[in-house]
Amino acid sequence: MIVIPAIDLRGGRCVRLVQGEKARTTVYGDDPVERARAFVAAGARRIHVVDLDGAFGDGSNLDVLRAIAQAVEVPVQTGGGVRTSADVRARLAAGAHDVILGTVLVEQPEEAARIAREFAGHISAGIDARGDEVAVRGWERGAGVRVETMLERLEAWGIERVIATQIERDGTGRGYDLDFYRRICERGVPRVQASGGAGSVDDLRALQALELPNLEGAIVGRAIYEGTLDLAQAVAELK
């Protein structure tokens, strides 16, 4: 299981939200590119970039994504506001290796299935849940779709990587919802990344202790920025 540091972008700056709420935003720096370089220097083998402006429908950070991808030599995965084939194509052209679909999975399933076929091997699914309900539109509302239903759709569409977030844990440092990830992994998803809740390396140890072979990584954000988790130590320990 690898540690995947997160860079959430809002107005070109590094930020973190608590439980996805705009009003609970903390700015952690004005240079996302240098932050990405520092993550790789600490041993990160993949970078997770979220365009929050795209997710909320009020802007884009495509140029910042391009600069990050050009600055590092590890795969960059990105999501936030991806709705069409053109959106996916633009992110891949900017240097992203994987593009994460979210809202479109629920609101336009036929389009999502077509995108998955067109860009096979480069599409991941973002499942963001409150309890057992999938949330959409930057986590601003529930979709009325259960997590298990969404996983069935993804299997049919051939999407093999899921980035799963339990929203109530995100940005809180309370640890990951272990039962949530166990259930998802036991559904047979080939690759699962856990996102939301890490407060220390102990939380990563708890995830790894589940011994789920398809749990490929843990995405960490606020804990790194606030210094409660040392990325280099975590990378070395989980290797």
Give the tokens for residue 71: 């600055």
Give 28's strand partners.
Answer: none
This prediction's pTM: 0.92
**pLDDT score recorded for residue 59:** 87
Question: Distances in Å between the alpha carbon of 199 and those of 39, 104, 221?
Answer: 17, 30, 9
Distance CA 96, CA 76 (A): 5
* Residue 128 is a catalytic residue: yes
Of the candidates 53, 98, 128, 177, the residue annotated as catalytic is 128
**pLDDT score recorded for residue 138:** 59
Distance CA 117, CA 122 (A): 10
Who contacts 75 (Cβ-Cβ below 8 Å, separation ≥6)?
Answer: 45, 46, 47, 97, 98
* Residue 31 is a catalytic residue: no
pLDDT per residue rounded down to tens, the chain (239 residues): 999 999 999 999 988 776 555 656 788 878 999 999 999 999 999 999 999 988 887 889 999 999 999 999 999 999 998 999 999 999 999 999 999 999 899 999 999 999 999 999 999 999 988 888 888 775 555 667 899 999 999 999 999 999 999 888 877 788 899 999 999 999 999 999 999 889 999 999 999 999 999 999 999 999 999 999 999 999 999 87
Distance CA 38, CA 231 (A): 10
Distance CA 22, CA 85 (A): 27
Per domain, the residue ranges of the chain are 2-238
Of the candidates 8, 53, 87, 177, the residue annotated as catalytic is 8
Give me the CATH topology for the region 2-238. TIM Barrel (3.20.20)
